[in-house]
C-alpha cells in the first residue's frame, strides 16, 4: 500500500515476478478490494501463488515511526512483517515509509545477537560493476562498534549475493591517510584492522572511491551515507538534463545525438536505477527489503528479486555466524 504508486505498481510487479519464478509465492498485504481490482487488471486474480492478506490500516509516507508503531497495528506494513516473524513469509518487501518500516521491523523481528543497530545497505553502479554502501540513513550518529558491525554485515552480504569469496571493505573518510577523520572513524579502523572474522579491510576510502569501485563494500554512518546517496542521485539527474539540453540546442547537435543514440541507450541502461532497486535492512532476525518509494513496476520487481536472493543465501544466519566468530562463541546456525 506504500510508496508513490501503491497497488497500481506493486500488484502487477508481483504478478510478473511469480510468472518469471515458478517457485515464488507472494502474499499481497493491504486493502483487499484495491488489491483484487489490480489483480483483475493484470490477469492475476486466480493465480494460486498470488495470495491476499487483508490489512485495514495504511502507514502514510510522512507519518512518524512512533505513531505507526502505536496506532497502526493492523497496517499493511505491520501485518507483512508479522508474517515474516510467524514464518508464513520468508521476506518482506515494502515501498513504504522508511522510518516506520525500520522501526516496525526492529520492534517485531528484533536484532540478531551481536548487532546493536540495523543498517540500510544499497547497491550502486561503479566503474567495475557495483558497490555495496551502508549505512544509508538508518543511524545518523554511530559509534565505532556500530561501524565495525556494519562492515561485518556488508561483507557477508557481498559474499552471499555476489558469490564473492573475499570482498574488500573500505571505511569512508575525508582522506585515505591514517591521521585523518573523526575519533569514531579512527577507532572503527582499528577494530577492522584487528578483526577476527576474516574481513578483507582495505583502509580508508574517499567519496570518489565509491564509483571507482575501489572497494566492494563501503562503510559509513547514516548521515554521511544518505547525503552521499542523495547528492549522487542529484548529480545524475543534472548530467542527464544537461546532456538533453545540449543535444537539442541546434540542428548539428540533434544530428550528433542521432549518431550517438546507440551509445546513449547503452549508457542509460547501465545507469538505470531500476537495476539497483532494493535496499536491505541488515541486522534483523529476518529479511526486510526497502524499495524506492517512486519505483515503477520493473524496479519493484528487482526489489522482490533481491529478497529472493537473500532468502536463498540465508543472509541473516550468515551474518549471525560471522559476528559469533568475532565474539568468540561461534556455533553454526
269: Cβ contacts below 8 Å, ≥ 6 apart: none
Q: Compute CA 244 distance to the chain's CA centroid, rounded to the nearest angstrom.
A: 30
Q: What is the pLDDT of residue 127?
A: 87
Q: In whole angstroms, what is the distance from residue 33 CA to residue 36 CA?
A: 5
Nearest C-alpha neighbor of 320 from the set 181, 176, 197, 168: 197
Query: What's the burial of 177, exposed, middle or buried (CB within 10 Å: 0-12/13-18/19+)?
Result: exposed
Nearest C-alpha neighbor of 16 from the set 52, 44, 51, 45: 44
Grid cell at residue 271? 545507469
Grid cell at residue 116? 546493536
Q: Which residue, chain included where needed, has cell 490477469?
A: 43
Answer whether 0.75 is exceeded by the pTM: yes
What CATH fold (topology level) applies to the domain 7-116+274-319?
Answer: Isopropylmalate Dehydrogenase (3.40.718)
Q: What is the pLDDT of residue 111?
A: 93
Nearest C-alpha neighbor of 57 from the set 48, 49, 67: 67
Residue 264: pLDDT over 80: no
Average pLDDT (212-234) is 91
Q: Which residues pair with 282 in a beta bridge?
A: 119
**Banded pLDDT at 114 (limits 50, 70, 90):** confident
E strands, the chain, in order: 26-30, 50-54, 91-94, 119-126, 129-134, 168-172, 200-205, 217-219, 279-282, 287-290
**Banded pLDDT at 251 (limits 50, 70, 90):** confident
Instruction: Pick the most confident of 79-83, 97-101, 130-134, 179-183.
Output: 79-83
- The model's pLDDT over 44-69, given as tens digits with 9 standing for 90+, comes to 888 999 999 999 999 998 899 999 99
In this structure, are residues 307 and 287 in contact, taking their beta carbons and an 8 Å threshold? yes
Q: What are phi and psi of 129, to 5 degrees?
A: 140, -95
If one compares 244 and 40, the residue with the highest pLDDT of the two is: 40
Average pLDDT (80-95) is 97
Q: In whole angstroms, what is the distance from residue 165 CA to residue 199 CA?
A: 11
Tell me which of 70-79, 86-95, 254-263 is least confident. Answer: 254-263
The full set of domain ranges for the chain reads 7-116+274-319
Burial letters for 145-173: b for 16+ Cβ neighbours within 10 Å, e otherwise? ebbbbbbbbbbbbbbbbbebeebbbbbbb
Q: What is the pLDDT of residue 332?
A: 44
- The model's pLDDT over 282-329, given as tens digits with 9 standing for 90+, comes to 999 999 999 988 889 999 999 999 999 999 999 999 888 888 876 655
What percent of the chain is predicted at pLDDT more than 70? 96
Residue 254: pLDDT over 80: yes
Residue 274: pLDDT over 80: no
Average pLDDT (197-222) is 92
User: Taking CA 183 as the corner, what is the angle to CA 179 and CA 185, rounded to the nearest 5 degrees?
Assistant: 80
Q: In whole angstroms, what is the distance from residue 283 CA to residue 258 CA?
A: 48
**Banded pLDDT at 273 (limits 50, 70, 90):** low
Query: What's the burial of 111, exposed, middle or buried (CB within 10 Å: 0-12/13-18/19+)?
Result: middle
Residue 333: pLDDT over 70: no
**Number of Cα atoms under 13 Å in the Cβ half of residue 214:** 18
Q: What is the pLDDT of residue 137?
A: 87
Q: Which residues pair with 281 in a beta bridge?
A: 120
Q: In whole angstroms, what is the distance from residue 54 CA to residue 163 CA?
A: 37
Q: Compute CA 168 distance to the chain's CA centroid, rounded to the nearest angstrom.
A: 19
Average pLDDT (102-120) is 93
Average pLDDT (208-223) is 94
Q: What is the pLDDT of residue 172?
A: 95
Q: Which residues pair with 119 in a beta bridge?
A: 282
Q: In whole angstroms, what is the distance from residue 218 CA to residue 151 CA?
A: 8
Amino acid at each position: 500500500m506504500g510508496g508513490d504508486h501503491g497497488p497500481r505498481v506493486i500488484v502487477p510487479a508481483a504478478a510478473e515476478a511469480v510468472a518469471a519464478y515458478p517457485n515464488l509465492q507472494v502474499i499481497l498485504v493491504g486493502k483487499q478490494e484495491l488489491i483484487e481490482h489490480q489483480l483483475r487488471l493484470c490477469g492475476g486474480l486466480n493465480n494460486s501463488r498470488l495470495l491476499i492478506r487483508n490489512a485495514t490500516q495504511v502507514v502514510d509516507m510522512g507519518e512518524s515511526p512512533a505513531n505507526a508503531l502505536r496506532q497502526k497495528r493492523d497496517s499493511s506494513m505491520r501485518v507483512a512483517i508479522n508474517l515474516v516473524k510467524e514464518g508464513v513469509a520468508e521476506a518482506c518487501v515494502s515501498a513504504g515509509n522508511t522510518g516506520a518500516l525500520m522501526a516496525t521491523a526492529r520492534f517485531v523481528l528484533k536484532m540478531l545477537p551481536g548487532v546493536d543497530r540495523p543498517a540500510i545497505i544499497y547497491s550502486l553502479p561503479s566503474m567495475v560493476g557495483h558497490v555495496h554502501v551502508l549505512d544509508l540513513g538508518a543511524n545518523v550518529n554511530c559509534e565505532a562498534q556500530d561501524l565495525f558491525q556494519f562492515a561485518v554485515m556488508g561483507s557477508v552480504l557481498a559474499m552471499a549475493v555476489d558469490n564473492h569469496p573475499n570482498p574488500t571493505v573500505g571505511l569512508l573518510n575525508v582522506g585515505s591517510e591514517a591521521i585523518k577523520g573523526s575519533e569514531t572513524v579512527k577507532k572503527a579502523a582499528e577494530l577492522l584492522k584487528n578483526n577476527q572474522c576474516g574481513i578483507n579491510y582495505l583502509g580508508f576510502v574517499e567519496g570518489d572511491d565509491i564509483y571507482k569501485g575501489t572497494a566492494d563494500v563501503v562503510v559509513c554512518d547514516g548521515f554521511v551515507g544518505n547525503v552521499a546517496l542523495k547528492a549522487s542521485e542529484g548529480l545524475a539527474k543534472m548530467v542527464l538534463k544537461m546532456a538533453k539540453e545540449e543535444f537539442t540546442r541546434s540542428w548539428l547537435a540533434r544530428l550528433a545525438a542521432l549518431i550517438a543514440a546507440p551509445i546513449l541507450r547503452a549508457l542509460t541502461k547501465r545507469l538505470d536505477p531500476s537495476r539497483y532497486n532494493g535496499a536491505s535492512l541488515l541486522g534483523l532476525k529476518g529479511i526486510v527489503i526497502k524499495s524506492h518509494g517512486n519505483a515503477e513496476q520493473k524496479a519493484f520487481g528487482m526489489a522482490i528479486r533481491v529478497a529472493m536472493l537473500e532468502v536463498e543465501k540465508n543472509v541473516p544466519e550468515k551474518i549471525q555466524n560471522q559476528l559469533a566468530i568475532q565474539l568468540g562463541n561461534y556455533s553454526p546456525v
